[in-house]
Amino acid sequence: MKGLFKKILVLTLILSVLLSVAACGGATNNLSKTNNGNQEDSSNAANSKNDSSDVDSTSTEKVTFHIYKNGGFPDYPADGGEGKQDVLNALAAYGLPNVDYKVTAIGGDEYYDKLNILAVSGSLPDYMNIDMVTMTNFSDQGLIIPLEDHLENMPAAKDRMRQVDLDAWTYNGHLYAFPVAYLEGAINGPNTTGLIVRADWLEKLDIDIPETIDEFYEMLKAFKEQDPDGNGQDDTFGYIGRDTTLFEDVFGAFGIQPTFWMETEEGLRLGSTLPATKEALAVLQQWYAEGLIDPDIFTNDQSLQDQKLANSKGGVYEGSGFSASVSNPEYAALLNVVPTAKLKGIPAFKGPKGESGRQEAPPGYGNSHAISANCQDVDLLVKFLNWCADDGENGGMYLCSVGVEGKHFELSEDGTKINQFVPYNEIYAYGLGNPIRFQQVVDRRWMEDSAVECFEAFDGMYRENKFWGTTPSMLDYPDTCEELFREYLAKIVMGSLPVDAWDDYVKDFYAMGGDKIEQEVNEAYQALNK
């Protein structure tokens, strides 16, 4: 089984499909996963004026699409709920009177177990959430169909999809899943992570938002030494984090993203093998020695990090734009202890040569869907999906994300804000929202101003990974691209190894398959960019 799995993976790679579990360059995955939470499963809504008088009841018979969603929605009614009539009315007014649907929602790993059982019995649903491994597997078996020719029939979604995501879902030269689409604007992009600071500490200590690495250092020092929490004890650090922390902004200030493939005169090189990495390591080692970094940073998990934040142990950490929303659990826990606390996102600071930045999110962001070879009317299904993404007249974008306008939400007059009246579970119980979001359009107009400001502060600071794929040698040497660096990072920063040990790291990297990996990456990159 393991061999088969690997074979599938290798095939995938060779064919330049991008795996979400890519060995190199996937460092931000965990962060975005843990931080997006439920809020990400929400969007907005505007035009759901349903006029059932428009329905052409004489048209053809109903086609019911069976749709599988990967998500636990215990409140969603099995019969589709009251909201289903809103959907059917809107579809009829949109010119699709014969569309009907039945949703089966299953959360967690159980979802893919179920899909695999259905695959074996030849009874896959018409349309389903899919991940990369399942996509390659089902495609090899002819269980799902190529979609590239259907894209032009769903302009409401297609025009908002990213090419990099479409490439990520292309396998053997064919598109096998529709990725999410994005509304315009800084708040709606795939990148969500950045540095979050205790803005109340900045105010208290009269510190401006740091723009350079020197100013950032001064801020860390003040957080450590000037008793920002005012309890009279020397009990705070500057930087807190967890075992996945890569200090992206610090490396970024030296022009490096350690786990990204970067362009050099000799071709693509993994950032961690470039000399500027050593400079950043020296800075981090000094900060750690001065007590500016939580000494447990390399072993904390998310909950320990959150506890330290809530207990005012640190003033800056790598989080997501959602962190600055008071409804976010980590912020709420902090406010519970310190009601006057303020969290704020800051742009990446600049290094000695004016460089800055952090890692862009990997392509192929979740909530992608495939169409089964069993589907009897693909053209109609695609029209239905276009309706789901359409925020124009009688379109379904809002019904499929935030419900009925006036009942569940309202749009601000200028259309830039979504004000929600009810919690998501009520929208699901009514039969709308995430359970029927068959084609997602990322729309974060529901976010509070504080979170919006955070996303705006982060805008423009994400750096590109030149190669997101996985090559065969990355699978032969699974620890070489990231784990090896993380080991050296922790040891050097904590001072158990000298900064010069970075030279050994580079030797180890090349000795542990890095030479083959680097060669394959460059070959694949050249092939992709011909």
For 95-253, strand residue ranges (E) read 99-106, 127-129, 170-171, 174-175, 181-182, 193-198
Give the shortest CB-198-to-Ca ion separation in angstroms: 12
DSSP-assigned states of every residue in 333-388: HHHHH-TT--EEEEPPPB-TTS---EEPPPSS-S--EEEBTT-S-HHHHHHHHHHH
Helix (H) or strand (E) segment spanning residue 519: helix 515-528
Which of 229/360 has CB closer to Ca ion?
A: 229
Which of 84/198 has CB closer to Ca ion?
A: 198
Which of 235/504 has CB closer to Ca ion?
A: 235
Give the shortest CB-229-to-Ca ion separation in angstroms: 5
Which of 56/235 has CB closer to Ca ion?
A: 235
| Position closest to Ca ion via CB | 227
Residues 6 or more apart from 174 whose CB is under 8 A from it?
139, 146, 147, 148
Which of 54/225 has CB closer to Ca ion?
A: 225
Q: Residue 270, SS3?
A: strand
Which of 238/363 has CB closer to Ca ion?
A: 238
Site of tokens 């980590």: 330
Give the shortest CB-492-to-Ca ion separation in angstroms: 29
Neighbours of 350 (CB within 10 A): 19
Asked whether 471 and 13 are in contact (CB, 8 A), the reply is: yes
Residues that bind Ca ion (CB under 5 A): 227, 229, 231, 233, 235
Which of 203/476 has CB closer to Ca ion?
A: 203
Residues 6 or more apart from 420 whose CB is under 8 A from it?
42, 402, 408, 409, 446
Give the shortest CB-225-to-Ca ion separation in angstroms: 10
Q: Which two tokens stand for residue 42?
A: 């929400």
Q: What is the CA radius of gyration of the chain?
A: 25
Give the shortest CB-232-to-Ca ion separation in angstroms: 7
Site of tokens 């542990």: 512
| Neighbour-count burial of 264, counting CB atoms closer than 10 A to its CB (0-12 exposed, 13-18 middle, 19+ buried) | exposed
Give the shortest CB-12-to-Ca ion separation in angstroms: 51
Give the shortest CB-231-to-Ca ion separation in angstroms: 5
Asked whether 424 and 89 are in contact (CB, 8 A), the reply is: no
Give the shortest CB-235-to-Ca ion separation in angstroms: 5
Which of 20/226 has CB closer to Ca ion?
A: 226
